[in-house]
Amino acid sequence: MKYLDEYRDPAAARRTLAAIRALVTRPWTVMEVCGGQTHAILKYGLDQLLPSEVTLLHGPGCPVCVTPAAKIDRAIALASRPEVILCSFGDMLRVPGSTTDLLSAKAAGADVRVVYSPLDALELARREPGREVVFFAVGFETTAPGNAMAAYLARRDGVSNFSLLVSHVLVPPALEAILSADGARVQGFLAAGHVCAVTGAAEYAPVARRHRVPIVITGFEPLDLLMGLHMCLAQLEQGRAEVENQYARVVRDQGNPAALQLLHQVFEVVDREWRGIGVIPASGLGLRRPYDEYDAERRFGLETLASPGEPAACQSGLVLQGRLKPSECAAFGRECTPEHPLGATMVSSEGACAAYFLHRPPPPNARDARGSGGQAPSREP
């Protein structure tokens, strides 16, 4: 199968690992910035195959995980209104807000519907003119063009009962925040290929230049990650700090010009709160005029809803910043499991805590004794 089996070839992986071992002369710390990459690294045990000098950290690359509890609370508040149909991707339903989640709200009677595209929600608004349809627009630059298209079509076609609850975030400002923090450990990054397929590579160059860190755009298969890591380590060993593209079969330097044009037409850069991290300046997207009439927070007067804190026992903010590995959290597998999550990183299919629980579960005697809460999900074959 083209571009899949080739990137899972064990012999090629062994050769790349041997090249990494021959290359590395000192300790290095590299962060991958994608939840899908984190899951692949753990599923295939790549971190355990690397030389001991190489440490991998997991960054804030899960859009569900960085969506603040206040946004979840606003989604629940909207869904609880009798005139509203709240549409969302399925991975948002179990993410905890300050007191509950969308799945519980749905069970209590709220009209919450899972869709596969914001255009599905827009079509629902066309079919249900007597209801207000709100789409929960979450994600990095990858999903933003689809939501921009939904707003563009709603305005073009005069669909007045459709709006977006926007919680879009941007990757480069998050890298800036990580590198600027006291005690920053990251010396290089593996950047997410699907994000760069939209944006291109150019906007990462100032981060690489300013902080003297290599950034390598990679894919999601084992060889993608190993090859990207080899490129990143080669830069570190040679004292270079550049943006390189391992994922050239998908990512172009200019990104996707049509998607970017629509993105800039509908959205503008805004400050954004990241769950467990706080507000990062100029790190999000908000609807610009005249599309802001489709802003659900504005339409329903939710802008002033307070932002609650995370549970005291939840260390997801440290996990998202690469300061703590999930298995190092005292609550991991005890108070916090996929069935009883304290934070979003244990709920999301791309969350680092969920990845560790799936692929590196704690021993049964270390888990919480609350029935099925201590059961690890079955592994993939």
What is the pLDDT confidence band of residue 369, given thresholds at 50, 70 and 90? very low
Binning pLDDT at 50, 70 and 90, where does residue 365 land? low
**Structure-token pair, residue 302:** 């939710």
DSSP secondary structure code for residue 193 in this structure: H
For every residue of 60-120, DSSP letters joined together read: S--TTTTS-HHHHHHHHHHHTSTTEEEEE-GGGTT---SS--HHHHHHTT--EEE-SSHHH
Using the predicted structure, report yes or no on whether residue 148 has a pLDDT greater than 60. yes
Provide the pairing of β-strand 84-88 with 112-114. Answer: parallel
316 pLDDT exceeds 90?
A: no
Confidence of residue 379 (pLDDT cuts 50, 70, 90): very low
Q: What is the mean pLDDT of residues 163-169?
A: 97
Give start and end residues of each alpha helix (H) in 99-211: 102-107, 118-127, 144-157, 171-180, 193-199, 205-211
pLDDT band at 293 (very low <50, low <70, confident <90, very high): very high
pLDDT digits (tens, 9 = 90+) for 230-262: 999 999 999 999 999 999 999 999 999 999 999
pLDDT beyond 50 at 130? yes
Instruction: Tell me the pLDDT tens digit for each residue of 169-180.
Output: 999 999 999 999
Q: How far apart are CA 37 and CA 190, in angstroms?
A: 9
**Higher pLDDT pick, 298 / 183:** 298
Q: What is the pLDDT of residues 94-111, one digit of tens each?
A: 988 888 999 999 999 999
SS3 for 207?
A: helix
In this prediction, what percent of the chain has a pLDDT beyond 70? 93
Question: Residue 374: what pLDDT?
Answer: 38
- Say what percent of the chain tops pLDDT 90: 77
- Residue 164, pLDDT > 80, answer yes
Please give the pLDDT value at position 1. Answer: 60
pLDDT given at position 254: 92
Q: Which residue has tokens 């709006």? A: 163
What pLDDT is stored for residue 343 in this prediction?
85
300 token code pair: 């329903």
| Mean per-residue pLDDT of the chain | 91
Q: What are phi and psi of 203, to 5 degrees?
A: -75, -10
Residue 89 has pLDDT above 90, yes or no: yes
pLDDT reading at 276 higher than 90: no
Closest CA to 86 of 64, 63, 129, 118: 118
In terms of CATH architecture, what is 69-170+255-299?
A: 3-Layer(aba) Sandwich (3.40)
319-358 tens-digit pLDDT: 988 888 999 999 999 989 988 888 889 988 889 999 999 9
Instruction: Quote the CA–CA distance of 303 and 373 in Å, as a whole number.
Output: 36
Residue ranges of domains in the chain: 5-62+172-245, 69-170+255-299
Overall residue count recorded for the chain in this entry: 381
pLDDT in tens, 177-213: 999 988 889 999 999 999 999 999 999 999 999 999 9
Please give the Cα distance from 50 to 71 (Å, whole number). 39
Predicted local distance difference test score (pLDDT) of residue 306: 63
Please state which of the four CATH numbers 3.40.50.11750, 3.30.1490.20, 2.60.40.1180, 3.30.300.180 is assigned to the domain occupying 5-62+172-245. 3.40.50.11750
- Section 137-158 average pLDDT: 97
pLDDT at 368: 46
**Matching fold, domains 5-62+172-245 and 69-170+255-299:** yes
pLDDT in tens, 28-77: 999 999 999 999 999 999 999 999 999 999 999 888 899 998 999 999 99
pLDDT value, residue 252: 93
pLDDT value of residue 367: 55
Whole-model pTM above 0.85?
yes
Q: What is the per-residue pLDDT for 376?
A: 35
Q: Residue 36's CB: how many other CB atoms inside 10 A?
A: 18
Structure token pair of residue 162: 């459709």
